[in-house]
Structure 1
Amino acid sequence: MKRLISIVVFCFLLVSCEPPQDGHGTYEYDNGTYVGAYKDGNMHGQGTFTTPDGNKYVGEWKDGKKHGRGTFTYASGTKYVGEWKDDVIHGQGTATLPDGSKYVGEYKDGRQHGQGTVTLASGNKYVGQYKDGKKHGRGAEVYASGNKYSGSYLNDKKHGQGTSTYTDGDKYVGEWKEGQRHGHGTYTFSDGSKYVGQWKNDKSHGQGTDTFANGDKYVGESKDGEKHGQGTYTYATGDKYVGEWKDGKSHGQGTDTFATGPMYVGEKKDGKPWEGNEYNKNRNVIATYSEGVKKPIN
């Protein structure tokens, strides 16, 4: 009997053998130790819970669950300071990673949700909306390189209407899909050159207009960032080519009209006359081309 009493007394002095019903107490659970306030046998009020692996929560509790304001410090060094609901991060809070990266903003059911700001150790920074832990909705991002984006996001990627400005002076305004320029958009280069038209997978693709700084202009089709399909190229000198293109070069059936009067009509290959006729300004044939070889007509 004395041995039993001694064990009970020792247990009480060190840590309660059962959770206190009310008031303040210390109790060792299977998953860690709690020191703090109790109500009806549950952690309730202000308290601290420490796990064997080094995680620690200091803050408010309700009916045995983290609820209200609290700080959770992970053994890894990650730290969260903010609101909780029913044992889950929920509301306004700040999460800081060991490398210095930080999120400040709203949470829902343990995930970033609502308005928030992320500052990464790399120097990148995002300010905008989140949904289920991902950038979603309107937002703005500034990269360590100095490049910037402002616009719509979907599932953590640029998606919808947005504007990117680059440190070299270039600028894109238009549609995005899954992080790439896709749809209709305008890309303005630092030298004043501009492309207005369709995009696919981050490259000009489809119908569009290129206006170059030297005064040249191309109106027509592109594929994978190159002139491809049907198009018209007008040079600042007044020369013009109307016809087919392939991989950035005139290729196929077309017509070259020169400002001085002559013209070429026929097939081109890799940007050069291949099978066709050359005319003078009076539209008389002055030469023929066969497999790229020019034969003057006397």
Structure 2
Amino acid sequence: MPIIATVLFLAGIGHGNPNANNRVWAAPDPNRPQPSESRSSYCEGRFPDGFLTGEGTCEFPSGNRYKGALRQGKPHGQGRFVWADGTYCEGDFQNGRLHGQAVCFMANGDRYEGEFRHGKRHGQGEIQFANGGRCQGEFANDRLNGEGVCQFTNGTRFEGHFVNGVPQGFGEYRFANGTICEGYFDDNLLDGRGVCTFPGGDRFIGNFVQGVPQGEGVYIAANGDRTRGIWRNGEFKPQNPPKEDSEEDADSEDDDNQEESPTAAMVELTGK
């Protein structure tokens, strides 16, 4: 029944919300403070030009440490920077900041491996969280921005487009209970045309507003029975009783069924 499907759908969305664990979307910044505090009194090594250029080891009053290549007193090249709280990063540095390939181990147990630009995660990378979750994909300005995949500890998985670490654009959620929803997401919620398939084989194809069925839709039971109508705030509203069937009405209904078939709906949704 459509009402049951709505309940199952809402339950699935609730359990799959990645914002329930903020650490999934915002890992600790491994670049604080910037290792540009290099001074000759804190570093030792061979510096032919007298300007802290070459291989060296630095220990700072803050408790931070650096070992690796330096250029004019700043980490530049391959090196390892360790913060006082236990966070450490090793990889490519440029002008005192991570720039290029690097791997960072945060004090809370999280791990990031991938590309950096000017001290921030930028490019292809992967975050592995201490709680077992992980996200990989395109990073920009320290967050997922572009295509990515996140796997959550409760078994839920999202694959699609991200903006500032949040699902935004076309994507697909696969929930731990077996529900699969795909369509356009706005701030992590289905918003627009979407398709949800439930564990028993039932499906809902229709319009969503902020994650809730709203507007025209069709509920297709596993046995092929269809219920079409209007959904308001996730609840099915029966349409007016149909007029007596006629040959013309039957032909029109056949045409409507063809237009609202799962294949046609998916074509409209995916653009394929």
How much does 1:88 deviate?
2.0
Please, which of 228, 231, 234 is the counterpart of residue 214 of structure 2?
Answer: 228
Query: Which residue in the other structure is 1:63 paired with?
Result: 49
CA distance in structure 1 between the aligned counterparts of 2:244 and 2:176, rounded to whole angstroms = 40
Please give the per-residue CA displacement for 1:49-106, whole angstroms capped at 9, x wherever unaligned: 32xxxxx111232433110111111111111111111222111111111221110111
What is the 5 A alignment of 1:89-104?
89-104=75-90
Query: Which residue in the other structure is 2:117 paired with?
Result: 131
Give the match's secondary structure for 1:135: strand
Query: Which residue in the other structure is 1:294 paired with?
Result: none
How much does 1:235 deviate?
2.9
How much does 1:171 deviate?
1.1
CA distance in structure 1 between the aligned counterparts of 2:194 and 2:53, rounded to whole angstroms = 57
How much does 1:174 deviate?
1.1
CA distance in structure 2 between the aligned counterparts of 1:240 and 1:141, rounded to whole angstroms = 43
* Paired AA for residue 98 in structure 1: A
Q: Gapped runs of 5+ residues in structure 1?
A: 1-47, 51-55, 257-264, 267-276, 283-298
Greater relative contact order, per chain length (Cα 8 Å cut-off, separation 6+): 2
* Paired AA for residue 49 in structure 1: S
Please give the per-residue CA displacement for 1:158-202, whole angstroms capped at 9, x wherever unaligned: 111111111221111111111001111111112321011111111
How much does 1:108 deviate?
1.0
Please, which of 170, 179, 185 is the counterpart of residue 156 of structure 2?
Answer: 170
Give the match's secondary structure for 1:65: coil
Q: Gapped runs of 5+ residues in structure 2?
A: 1-38, 247-272
Query: Which residue in the other structure is 2:192 paired with?
Result: 206
What is the 5 A alignment of 1:192-271?
192-236=178-222, 239-251=225-237, 256=238, 265-266=239-240
How much does 1:230 deviate?
2.3
| Number of positions where the alignment pairs a residue of Structure 1 with one of Structure 2 | 208
Query: Which residue in the other structure is 1:17 paired with?
Result: none
Give the match's secondary structure for 1:66: coil
The structure that is helix-richer by fraction is 2
How much does 1:281 deviate?
10
Please give the per-residue CA displacement for 1:215-270, whole angstroms capped at 9, x wherever unaligned: 2211112121111232212233655332332322235xxxx5xxxxxxxx33xxxx
Give the match's secondary structure for 2:208: strand
Please give the per-residue CA displacement for 1:13-59, whole angstroms capped at 9, x wherever unaligned: xxxxxxxxxxxxxxxxxxxxxxxxxxxxxxxxxxx932xxxxx1112
How much does 1:134 deviate?
0.6
How much does 1:279 deviate?
8.3
Work out whether 1:153 is the aligned partner of 2:139.
yes
**Kindly, what percent of the aligned residue pairs are identical?**
31
Please, which of 170, 173, 177 is the counterpart of residue 184 of structure 1?
Answer: 170
How much does 1:123 deviate?
0.7
Scaled by the length of structure 1, what TM-score is found? 0.65
Query: Which residue in the other structure is 2:263 paired with?
Result: none
CA distance in structure 1 between the aligned counterparts of 2:231 and 2:45, rounded to whole angstroms = 69
The structure that is strand-richer by fraction is 1
* Paired AA for residue 194 in structure 1: I
Scaled by the length of structure 2, what TM-score is found? 0.71
